[in-house]
Structure 1
Amino acid sequence: RHIHQRYDFQVRNQGLAQAEGNPIIALQINLDKNFAFLEFRSVDETTQALALDGINFMGQSLKIRRPRDYVPLPGLQDNPSVVVPGVVSTVVSDSPHKMFVGGLPNYLHEDQVKELLLSFGPLRAFNLVKDTASGLSKGYAFAEYLDPSITDAACAGLNGMPLGDKKLVVQRAAIGSKAQQLAASLIPSNVPGLQTAGMEAGPPTEVLVLMNMVTPEELEDEEEYEDILDDVREECGRYGTVRSLEIPRGVKGVEVAGVGKIFVEFASVEDCQKALEALTGRKFNNRVVVTSYYDPDKYHRREF
């Protein structure tokens, strides 16, 4: 009943209903398989209701589809003619603006991956590909921006970015080249050209590096610098014992390596792994946090 009322409200609230009264006449729920069938009073209203695909319901992005045995009626429109503001579709149609996002750590959930993409602009559609049996991420996704002109800037800004112990592969998706897209998601993190200076790909270590959290300007003020130190130490302490913490800052007339990065040494690799999984994709000062493991020897030699 709750689902029926919420969906009916959204259909009417978004102007998708074409007459007075409840446009939904029947609801059948399969609790075992977590899906439901909705029957509308008209074909046109059914089509328009597809515009709600991707709408948030109790913390989940709903996937709204036609039944498998659906056969479109000749001469009738098969796709919704409206776009619901703020709703990101879960179907990324093949188009020149479709993007492939590979090299994602499997523990990242949809909202975290979306946050990375949303830092460049609002999305029209997004789909994190998951294993149908386990429901776990396969490590790649597809997306499309509401403004197609953002696509190239997002690809340039995100491609090769260290994320956990991997490197992102972000590019326009070649229509029909699924085999190439899947292969791209398996590119090892030490591919030449994708390595970021100072970063070490490979197995987990006890040293975590946090990026995209602070700017050199924010580190100049002594009081603000101390506040950032305390905030990072407190937050990282939630996931394990912090043995040491380094936030390189600029010195006038001297080129300091690692400015803009935050290095955290944990007492164990396990603690570091917990912190990486918890902090990746989080926001700090409205910036999406990017994480990676770091070579302990370089850390202790202060090679940042």
Structure 2
Amino acid sequence: MENLPRGPRRDYRRPRNDRDTRDLYRDHRGSYREQRGYYEEGWYDRGYARNREYRPTNGRSSFQNSCPPLEKIARVSLWDKPAPGFEGVSAARAKACGLFPEPGEPSRTTDQTEIQRLLSHAATNYRSQAFQDSKLTPLDSRVAKTLILRADFNVVRLERVKKYLENYLLANIVPNVNYEDVKIQMHPTQDPRTVIVQTLRSTVATALFALTGLDVPELNTTLSFERPKEYVVFNPNDTSVPQEPLEDVVESSQLYVARNVPYGTPREKLLELLQPLGKVRSLAQVLDKLSYESKGVAFFEMVSEDSEVLTKLNELAIDDQELQIFRACENPERKYEQAVILSAETLFGALQSDKISPHAPSEIVQFLNCVAVEDLVDSVKYNDIKVAFEAECSCHGHPEKVLIPRPEGDFRPGMPTKPEVGRIFVKFATSEEAQKCAEALAGRKFNGRTILAAFYETEDFSRALF
């Protein structure tokens, strides 16, 4: 290697006046090349030296700013397309044929001849086999097992209130409430003074509802319970009275709670006090687990044609101690009632009669029987379902929110899910738009399923009471 002379480094660069004055870190391709003459006359008009958004399209459509993101485009239409071989077949008949092992799973066979044979066989007996033992009352719903609790949670913690309610159920004998039914769950809402109480049975919710308005010194707060707006009262319209009043809590529109009853009051004395005002069908007291004596709370079912019977009941007293009596099963604002036990034989007739109260108009519409739980686990299928529903609902109004509850992250086929999973909730700007959309989509096919639509209370929706 040749030895270079030592000394200060020389600047071999070109003179400063001949250097390129461009900023090498910025893009000046259009203006610089135009000034330097890189393009001949006419090239600028063709758009080669302009920015990309200003270039001419030469009559072709430009989708640069109008094309939505790919995740908002439903890949395949899911509307009014039943599964192959099940065109014109109801969901009940398809399930009764035995081809589907679990809800939402594909058919066991794809042979069209075998499908038609099983469907024709199920057409004669699916009603008796699939729905013979299927009965439904309002007490079976999740709403009947839910309460809304108001208390001053700035003074007392949520865990202490929950423990107090569970200890109340464990320390006392509450009719129709077993040891395994005591567990409750409490969830906070957006209102810091309100929580949602969920029980395992409707009888437990009714037993806790008897504590409404009670001042609890050990919690330093007052517990106030109320029913959800979706609560439906069971009103059997049965005026028959047994010879001896039952010792059970019979949940119906005729059930009352008697509070402030003196401790140790025998059942016979309370029964003698109530019978002059109406026919007592059942009477059950809350008893202490150790002494088996009355703890001051009783439930009774009374049949009376007097419209002022509740006022007269609150005038009763035992040993100069006035009783506090109120209805245990009531929806004072909506007054929803069901007067029939739904079954396969009574379902269609009951829906066309006045034995079920119609739902009040609302801005919320819930769609049922729309999706399988397995489709909600897959993010791609979930997105397709949400986009398809939002687009279809936009044709009938202005949906503000589309909510599709999903199962837990560790869900596996066959695992139980929450009751709201599988339903789709859509919130509209007005109740008129919601009614228009419900009437338009009810009965249509979505992903091979017949859609059911119904209103849902706005207040319960805002509290996530599904």
Fold shared per TM-score above 0.5: no
TM-score normalised by length of structure 1: 0.42
More strand as a share of residues: 1
TM-score normalised by length of structure 2: 0.28
